[in-house]
């Protein structure tokens, strides 16, 4: 599958149980010239340390960092939602955070960010849902689909925990259901063709 990433302005990923392993596989596929900022909403323990940021920064060609309030979303970066905050994006394409109640037992919630991003980026958004143990992200993927964005779900049969991608597949039309390695290859192929 080839994706014309230049048609889009933002890529968002939602992941929960099994996330560290799947991101360990996926993030090294991103090359220096990948044209989109990437925002990852991962369910993390509220007291999660920063080891995972340092680890992924060492294994990804893009700059990996935690999202910061009012920061403008920029290409060349992979942003993680900070633990225990809902992350949103506003119309000026800057991050916002709040401590509203948990959604789907989660804060950050994938649905909260995906719905916010769909409202801002509309058909310029790629949404990806990966392994996870609840249905967070299903409504967010529907919002992306309804706004005309491109939706990708990990094949539930290949997910460490299939519940989250399966919930998204059942909730809305998914443009591409795939293995993580195939998504990584599509990302890598883009970079090879734009050196």
- The DSSP line for 121-147 is HGGGEEEEE---SS-TTHHHHHHHHHT
In the predicted model, what is the mean pLDDT of the chain?
Answer: 94
pLDDT at 195: 52
Contact 86, 112 (CB under 8 A): yes
Catalytic member of 16, 106, 109, 116: 16
CATH of residue 106: 3.40.50.180
Residue 18 to residues 57, 154, 160, 161, 178, Cα–Cα distance (Å): 19, 12, 6, 7, 16
Q: What is the mean pLDDT of residues 120-135?
A: 97
136 an active-site residue? yes
Catalytic member of 43, 106, 111, 116: 43
pLDDT at 47: 67
45 an active-site residue? no
Instruction: Flag whether pLDDT at 34 surpasses 60.
Output: yes
Domain assignment of residue 113, given as a range: 5-192
| Residues 60/184/43/158 CA torsion (nearest 10 deg) | -140
Catalytic member of 9, 86, 111, 136: 136
Number of domains the chain contains: 1
Calculate what percentage of the chain has a pLDDT beyond 90: 87
* Residue 157 backbone dihedrals phi, psi, to 5 degrees: -70, -15
Cα distance between residue 191 and residue 31, in whole Å: 6
When pLDDT is cut at 50, 70 and 90, the band that residue 50 belongs to is confident
Q: What is the mean pLDDT of residues 56-84?
A: 95
| For the chain, the helix, strand and coil percentages under 3-state DSSP, each to the nearest 5 | 35, 25, 40
9 an active-site residue? no
């Amino acid at each position: 599958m080839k994706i014309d990433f230049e048609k889009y302005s933002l890529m968002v990923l939602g992941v929960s149980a099994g996330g560290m392993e799947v991101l360990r596989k996926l993030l090294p596929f991103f090359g220096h010239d990948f044209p989109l900022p990437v925002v990852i909403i991962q369910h993390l323990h509220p007291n999660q340390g920063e080891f995972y940021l340092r680890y992924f920064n060492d294994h990804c060609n893009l700059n990996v960092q935690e999202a910061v309030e009012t920061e403008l979303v920029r290409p060349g970066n992979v942003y993680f939602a900070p633990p225990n905050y809902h992350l949103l994006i506003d119309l000026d394409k800057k991050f916002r955070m709040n401590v509203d109640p948990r959604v789907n037992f989660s804060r950050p919630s994938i649905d909260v960010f995906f719905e916010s991003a769909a409202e801002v980026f509309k058909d310029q958004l790629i949404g990806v849902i990966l392994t996870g143990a609840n249905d967070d992200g299903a409504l967010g993927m529907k919002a992306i689909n309804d706004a005309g964005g491109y939706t990708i779900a990990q094949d539930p049969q290949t997910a460490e925990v299939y519940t989250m991608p399966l919930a998204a597949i059942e909730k809305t039309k998914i443009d591409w259901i795939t293995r993580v390695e195939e998504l990584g290859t599509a990302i890598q192929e883009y970079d090879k063709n734009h050196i």
